[in-house]
Amino acid sequence: MDVNHQHTWKCRDREFILGDRALVMGILNLTPDSFSDGGRHMAVDDAERAALEMIEQGADIIDLGGESTRPGAQPVSTGEELRRVMPVVERLAGRPGFVLSVDTTKSEVAAAALQGGAHIINDVSALTNDPAMADVVRRYGAGLVLMHMRGSPANMQNDPRYLDVVGEVSAFLRARIDTAVGAGIAAEQVVVDPGIGFGKNLDHNLALLRAIPAIAARCARPVLIGASRKRLIGDLTGRSVGDRLAGSLALMSYAILRGARIIRVHDVKESCDTARMLATLGKLEDA
Ligand code: HH2
């Protein structure tokens, strides 16, 4: 594959050229505990405010999620996921500067969100949960994140084991790209994600971060990393989830220096500053 393809990510009418700076995807969780308990309408207002703030702070993409995928989380119904996600998609889609990603494994949610103007489907099941998902992504020419997960959020942290975590995760992602392309999705629509914390212990996560160049080479597509505030940062720093900003930025910097091109984060302002600094410092290195 032409190496230049690795620098382009086609998401409907938006084409990201992945240059010196990593793209920042800001996380907007629409799960009931995320926002005000003042009912749906207030929750939509809160979500809009949070999204506007992230765009002002420099986010390239907003990732909307209506189903928690934290370890131990239980699935939600399609109807409930649609009720959480769609009012926010409708409020935000089409605004200048907004590129919306929807974190879902369900084709019905994906189809409604794309119909409503979203650009990207972030499928943490890598098209394995819903056989109709690939066709929805193909029809809209949407961007697609294919992520590796071992098991399901309900059971994935029960003593995960691999013989060769980097080899197995890379082979899985490569095979999922082949499936997507076989279903008519262009390779340029796809980015891959080793799924930090999804059925992996601390050593597995660190091995995968170190192996970003190998994963990128095997898949010939950009790598996305989501490690913001995750448990491995707690394991390494001893900090609680609300106190992991420095750890998150350090981990993100390492991931970018290893070649990650898209970073999924909670703390957009600080992450954008970090990504900008690394882009400039990286150019000094090359000079
Ligand atoms: N992590 C989470 C959710 N979605 N998507 C991708 N592509 N990569 C990730 O690493 C990833 C993801 C879980 O993190 P968080 O958003 O903090 O939790 P929750 O989904 O439970 O709100």
Cβ of 86 closer than 6 Å to ligand 1, yes or no, is no
Cα distances (Å, whole numbers) of residue 105 to 124, 142, 211:
7, 14, 26
Alpha carbon of 39 to ligand 1 centroid (Å): 24
Instruction: Show pLDDT as tens, one digit a residue, over the chain (287 residues).
Output: 344 446 899 999 999 999 899 999 999 999 887 666 666 777 899 999 999 999 999 999 999 999 988 888 888 999 999 999 999 999 999 898 899 999 999 999 999 999 999 999 999 999 999 999 999 999 999 999 999 999 888 888 888 899 999 999 999 999 999 999 999 999 999 999 999 999 999 999 999 999 999 999 999 999 999 999 999 999 999 999 999 999 999 999 999 999 999 999 999 999 999 999 999 998 886 66
Query: Tokens 């890598």 correspond to what residue?
Result: 126
Asked if 26 and 103 count as a contact pair (C-beta separation under 8 A), the reply is no
Can you tell me whether residue 23 is helix, strand or coil? strand
Mutate to test the pocket of ligand 1, among 198, 215, 264 (most ligand atoms within 8 A of CB): 264
Cβ of 65 closer than 6 Å to ligand 1, yes or no, is yes
Mutate to test the pocket of ligand 1, among 103, 105, 221, 224 (most ligand atoms within 8 A of CB): 103
Tell me the one-letter amino acid at 6.
Q
- Locate the ligand 1 atom nearest the alpha carbon of residue 122 and give its number: 7
Cβ of 27 closer than 6 Å to ligand 1, yes or no, is yes
- Locate the ligand 1 atom nearest the alpha carbon of residue 70 and give its number: 21
Cβ of 143 closer than 6 Å to ligand 1, yes or no, is no
Question: Has this prediction a pTM greater than 0.85?
Answer: yes
Cα distances (Å, whole numbers) of residue 268 to 9, 152, 235, 249, 271:
21, 28, 23, 11, 5
- The catalytic residues are 230, 264
Alpha carbon of 287 to ligand 1 centroid (Å): 36
The predicted pLDDT at position 158 comes to 84
- Locate the ligand 1 atom nearest the alpha carbon of residue 197 and give its number: 10
Alpha carbon of 69 to ligand 1 centroid (Å): 6
- Locate the ligand 1 atom nearest the alpha carbon of residue 29 and give its number: 22
Cα distances (Å, whole numbers) of residue 67 to 31, 76, 84, 136, 198:
6, 6, 9, 19, 15
Asked if 259 and 223 count as a contact pair (C-beta separation under 8 A), the reply is yes
Question: Of 43, 27, 44, nearest to 35 (Cα)?
Answer: 43
